[in-house]
A and B are shown apart, each in its own frame.
Chain A
């Protein structure tokens, strides 16, 4: 037994020694090969002209090369999503400015905020109601310093030179941004479902903006495309995602709904104008507060006829829709400041063909400021001053964790209008990064009709 153990240990020792030596040599060689791989470092690139080093070298030099740039400090973006910085306010709305088309359909880049806003009350062939909203917002960061070529192009495009900000450059544009940020919202409501999506994009990247000829508003594949330089007629296409489906008793966040083939809706609409553009306020200068500090340039297209289709993306099922739409374009640098609490906005299509826009600005430590416009079916308008219009919330409705005024009464004595306005559906909240309420309403009282209600700041 002893001999056997001795033999075994002797064998084991020899085996271990040889294994040990083998491992040592194998690993040494492996490490040597690792160093051979280091050649790859030396050999990055590859060119025809004798040396891959040349490119590696130049690329290395290029990487260390830094573009010259001015010494700039960093500023928060924040604009458009919070109150304006009074020190760096964009161009101020001018009561003497004359709105002209098609020029004023385009972007007013020197103003801090601008939007192109479409709301539509639609019906399908079976009489089901739909509410639709599509908006492109533009926010400007006045702290971004423009480069010379951009300044020049802006000088040429807009008469007023007050847009130049060389005196106070705080940030710097880059190849992937300029002073503009675009945001877009698309929302479709049926009685039981809500499709909603939002998008963001930077200027200077190429996937969002306003094109003049032919006129186009676009952010990614959401596009408002006109065949001419004018706003209308146009074709609007976008895709939006189902986020709520009360018909099945589930929210869209449930996997069962998400996996539902109906979860995306492709929208294609043909928009045609059957009436004139309406300049809101005084010739398109819309005052929003009693002291006149809040004002904007604002016009509407309330006579838009819509026909188009909703297509459930995966199932391919199509729903033909038609109805009335209301378009607003508004640009200002004086809407969002520290005093702004929010606003309530109504656009109504009365059954007699008349239209009403009512707007209530809610300001801190100031009385609410209500204005509006009464638009006759023939397109003639009456500006409604605070003394001409009464707008009262009749009750607050609990929706989720918020209480919202979804039931209103509107009275325009001079026009014999006294109507109740009620949301057709309580939860028409757009759960966006900047959330707000945008939904269809039904009108009853002296007049009947349909319309849209927007509530912000709740």
Chain B
């Protein structure tokens, strides 16, 4: 029942989030603005859209444009932050919006009396209401529109003292909030653009909306008038958007299904447990003449009723869960997929029908296995072991499955490039591991038995019982194997990635200090006369094979030469000489893998200052973790300060000289505390950010282990009944209850240990696939696999500890039973 409730709650929560995200995503970029047909954005994230771009386009006659600026900020009350995650504050140029024909069409006076005040159409009513609110934003007292649920959440941050006011971090009071129920609104607050800039002067212009339809000719004219740094995109779902949306929903649905399947997994075991405890009663019923069909029908009806109740409770819990989880889950999803997860309007009845339907199918299917087993038990008075032929058949089938899974995975991994195919191959690898484990359990156990000395008869007995157990706990053992494999695979991958990143950062951060400043003044100018040696990183954004890439300068002094971390480099001894002479370039992995280039290949690139196309040899491929951009490094001398942007400055100097620069920065209105960072601090901050990112992985590992352990625990409760005669006999021979408990624990831990041994190579293989194939395809980078035996031993210990803790509960319970009960039970 609890499992079903959890399954239903989890499923409903994800469905609610999914539906909210869908509604928000489908209407993203509209911000309550109807009829947005195109958006204008900057061609590069580095070439920001500016107010000057907007006014210049309007002066050129592009009057359908509406500027949108955004910033992500916390809300404060009495200088205390009251929001868990930042809220998207969106400013719209309402002055432009209110005169758009689609917003309001002037009606001649003679016709005004005949115009219906309200439209009958629901959509049109909603639009009218939104328009009314936007009109309010433009000329009335500053107001801000937000979803009622967000307002409710914010109101919770205000205590009973109503004189308190929402403010920005610097204490500027926010405009009066107006709640508006709309699927478009999520974790955002919409206001007039001037108000946004008043509150947050650092907000950035994010896009220009094109309101209203454009004819083909108008679209062409618009494209022609756009300056080079801006691009026009149809807002009716570009290819990229739809890909992102489908990937986002696929992952959300995968998470929902995983949660559901995990819970059903427990349901299978729970029903098994339930039927097992009722077995005696059911046998009596059977002896009284009640047909098996009737017994099954009653059990099924019970399951259906339980599912109904569980679904009902689960849906209610799920909706609450979605609300509770919204700040964290939504923030994670928004960060991962850059989508706005809103407060969707969910029909409870619709959701209930959906969840009940899925739960019913799931629970009935999950009940099928235990019922089939029950059918088998009711039909026979004794367990009939499989005949030799049957055993051979099953063994053959398992080995065949192994061969099929492993072969298919090999073919896919060697030939496929699509991410989804690689994922399937990964799953096949794990499945083949399951088959291998199942096929080898008996021989492995027999092998281990050989090492148990004769003076430990109880241990020998226990290991023999493990063999019998392994046949009855296949699913639970497989679950544990999968959990262990995933654990080892993910941990090794993260460990390798961490090691590679830390090494790369330590090597590349060769200077003492770093300054990031995108605006005026130039730090190099500022550092003159301070004695600080400043090395600038000049950057251009250029087009290569139709894609935007970074063209960065790299200093060629010896310390920076030493600092370069190569993935692969030319065997040419004069690498740096050729680089300095401008004959060759260094590219990052993203460039090499993305455009399929190797070391010593020749590429054509525009010169950083003259833009003339020239040929360059790729002298080396360098690591550049974390960057989504393909990058080409060229010598500093080829760049011109007037043509390239400079944001990063590497500083070398003594503490006193750096202090001098710090003072100069302060005098120029810069904030050295934030902009000037010591290399050690930067490294520590980077690694902390890295570790924070992978907290989710640790949580996931524990969850998979717990699920596997729970499944094992359920299986143990059932099996404890099966071995009651043996236990009774052992205890009658004077073996203490404690010893029998220890022996039982030994049996299961032995099974788990063997699963762990099998999981180790498969975990390493999984890690290798993740690094070499999935990282390569998904992020265009790869790094060496580091197999740390200590890490593997740590996983062994954690896994066995988790499993031992969980399965100890039923074992201890069974051990507490007085011996006489077992004797009576057998009789």
Closest to B699 in A: A35
Closest to B60 in A: A221
C-alpha gap A401/B427 in the complex (Å): 73
Interface residue stretch chosen among B2-10, B163-171, B569-577: B163-171
Q: A17: which of B335, B369, B497, B779 is its contact (CB, 8 Å)?
A: B369
C-alpha gap A46/B474 in the complex (Å): 47
C-alpha gap A65/B690 in the complex (Å): 23
B109 touches A45 (CB 8 A): no
> Inside 8 A of A177's CB, which chain B residues have their CB?
194, 197-198
> Inside 8 A of B109's CB, which chain A residues have their CB?
399-402, 427, 429, 431, 435
Closest to A79 in B: B139
Contact residues of B between 65 and 105, Cβ < 8 Å to A: 69, 71-73, 91, 93, 95-96, 98-99, 101, 105
B648 at the interface (CB under 8 A from A): yes
B201 touches A67 (CB 8 A): yes
Majority SS at the chain A contact face: mixed
Q: B628: which of A46, A66, A196, A241 is its contact (CB, 8 Å)?
A: A46
Q: A30-B254, A197-B99 are in contact. Are A66 and B372 (CB under 8 A)?
A: no
Contact residues of A between 412 and 433, Cβ < 8 Å to B: 426-427, 429-433
Contact string against A for B residues 146-179, beta-carbon threshold 8 Å, 1 for contact and 0 otherwise: 0000000000000000000000111111010000
> Inside 8 A of A16's CB, which chain B residues have their CB?
365, 368-369
B779 touches A39 (CB 8 A): yes
Closest to B379 in A: A6
B508 touches A244 (CB 8 A): no
Contact residues of B between 664 and 680, Cβ < 8 Å to A: 671, 674-675, 677
> Inside 8 A of A318's CB, which chain B residues have their CB?
none
Given contacts A17-B369, A27-B257, A69-B170, 8 further A-B contacts (CB under 8 A): A29-B430, A33-B419, A43-B779, A46-B624, A62-B674, A174-B198, A197-B99, A400-B111
B99 touches A198 (CB 8 A): yes
Q: A21-B475, A24-B265 are in contact. Are A205 and B54 (CB under 8 A)?
A: yes
A13 touches B372 (CB 8 A): yes
Contact string against A for B residues 225-257, beta-carbon threshold 8 Å, 1 for contact and 0 otherwise: 000000000000000000000000001001101
C-alpha gap A17/B255 in the complex (Å): 21
A201 at the interface (CB under 8 A from B): yes
> Inside 8 A of B650's CB, which chain A residues have their CB?
49
C-alpha gap A288/B475 in the complex (Å): 94
Contact string against B for A residues 12-32, beta-carbon threshold 8 Å, 1 for contact and 0 otherwise: 110011101111111111111
Q: A63: which of B72, B105, B138, B689 is its contact (CB, 8 Å)?
A: B72
B198 touches A172 (CB 8 A): yes
C-alpha gap A420/B426 in the complex (Å): 92
B426 touches A43 (CB 8 A): no
> Inside 8 A of B107's CB, which chain A residues have their CB?
243, 251, 253, 431
> Inside 8 A of A25's CB, which chain B residues have their CB?
427, 430-431, 434, 482
A66 touches B261 (CB 8 A): no
Q: A58: which of B434, B627, B674 is its contact (CB, 8 Å)?
A: B674
A53 at the interface (CB under 8 A from B): yes
C-alpha gap A29/B93 in the complex (Å): 45
B376 to chain A, nearest CB (A): 9
Interface residue stretch chosen among B453-461, B550-558, B655-663, B805-813: B550-558
A264 to chain B, nearest CB (A): 10
> Inside 8 A of A202's CB, which chain B residues have their CB?
95, 194
C-alpha gap A174/B693 in the complex (Å): 37
B633 at the interface (CB under 8 A from A): yes
B63 touches A46 (CB 8 A): no
Closest to B107 in A: A431
Interface residue stretch chosen among A70-78, A338-346, A356-364: A70-78
Q: B95: which of A54, A200, A431 is its contact (CB, 8 Å)?
A: A200
A21 to chain B, nearest CB (A): 5
B486 at the interface (CB under 8 A from A): yes
Which B residues fall within an 8 A CB radius of A?
51-52, 54-56, 58-61, 63, 69, 71-73, 91, 93, 95-96, 98-99, 101, 105-113, 138-142, 168-173, 175, 193-198, 200-202, 251, 254-255, 257-258, 261-262, 265, 268, 332, 335-336, 365, 368-369, 372, 375, 401, 419, 423-424, 426-427, 430-431, 434, 474-475, 478-479, 482-483, 486, 489-490, 493, 497, 504-505, 507-509, 514, 516, 537, 539, 550, 552-554, 563, 624-629, 631, 633, 647-648, 650, 671, 674-675, 677, 682, 685-686, 689-690, 692-694, 696-697, 700, 704, 770, 774-775, 778-779
A365 at the interface (CB under 8 A from B): no
C-alpha gap A207/B704 in the complex (Å): 59
> Inside 8 A of A20's CB, which chain B residues have their CB?
261, 265, 268, 475
Q: What are the nearest 6 A-B pairs in CB distance?
A: A46-B627, A50-B508, A43-B626, A206-B55, A48-B552, A177-B194
Q: B108: which of A29, A68, A200, A243 is its contact (CB, 8 Å)?
A: A243
Q: A12-B368, A68-B170 are in contact. Are A27 and B261 (CB under 8 A)?
A: yes
A52 at the interface (CB under 8 A from B): yes
A33 touches B774 (CB 8 A): yes
Q: A39-B779, A40-B628, A175-B201 are in contact. Are A24 and B261 (CB under 8 A)?
A: yes
B180 to chain A, nearest CB (A): 20
> Inside 8 A of A201's CB, which chain B residues have their CB?
58, 95-96
C-alpha gap A251/B106 in the complex (Å): 11
B648 touches A47 (CB 8 A): yes
Which A residues fall within an 8 A CB radius of B?
9-10, 12-13, 16-18, 20-58, 61-69, 71-78, 81, 171-177, 181, 194, 196-202, 205-207, 218, 220-221, 239, 241, 243-244, 251-253, 399-402, 426-427, 429-433, 435
Closest to B254 in A: A30
B175 touches A429 (CB 8 A): no
Q: A53-B686, A66-B168, A253-B111 are in contact. Are A31 and B509 (CB under 8 A)?
A: no
14 A–B contacts from the bound complex (CB under 8 Å): A53-B505, A55-B648, A63-B72, A78-B139, A174-B197, A206-B52, A207-B58, A220-B58, A221-B59, A221-B60, A244-B108, A400-B108, A400-B111, A429-B110
A354 to chain B, nearest CB (A): 32
C-alpha gap A201/B336 in the complex (Å): 37
A403 to chain B, nearest CB (A): 11
A49 to chain B, nearest CB (A): 5
B516 touches A58 (CB 8 A): yes
A57 touches B63 (CB 8 A): no
Q: A45-B627, A50-B508, A81-B139 are in contact. Are A176 and B51 (CB under 8 A)?
A: yes
Q: A20-B475, A53-B686, A402-B109 are in contact. Are A221 and B63 (CB under 8 A)?
A: yes
A31 touches B254 (CB 8 A): yes
Q: B55: which of A28, A29, A207, A400 is its contact (CB, 8 Å)?
A: A207
> Inside 8 A of A9's CB, which chain B residues have their CB?
372, 375
C-alpha gap A34/B692 in the complex (Å): 15
C-alpha gap A25/B170 in the complex (Å): 50
C-alpha gap A45/B689 in the complex (Å): 13
B54 touches A207 (CB 8 A): yes
Q: A73-B173, A76-B140 are in contact. Are A67 and B627 (CB under 8 A)?
A: no
A64 touches B169 (CB 8 A): yes
> Inside 8 A of B516's CB, which chain A residues have their CB?
54-55, 58
> Inside 8 A of A29's CB, which chain B residues have their CB?
423, 426-427, 430, 486
A26 touches B51 (CB 8 A): no
A64 to chain B, nearest CB (A): 7
B368 touches A36 (CB 8 A): no
Closest to B368 in A: A16
> Inside 8 A of A74's CB, which chain B residues have their CB?
141-142, 173, 175
A41 touches B335 (CB 8 A): yes
C-alpha gap A196/B629 in the complex (Å): 49
Closest to A76 in B: B141
> Inside 8 A of B202's CB, which chain A residues have their CB?
62-63, 65-67
> Inside 8 A of A433's CB, which chain B residues have their CB?
98
A63 to chain B, nearest CB (A): 6
> Inside 8 A of B261's CB, which chain A residues have their CB?
20, 23-24, 27
> Inside 8 A of A241's CB, which chain B residues have their CB?
101, 106
Q: A65-B202, A400-B111 are in contact. Are A200 and B59 (CB under 8 A)?
A: no
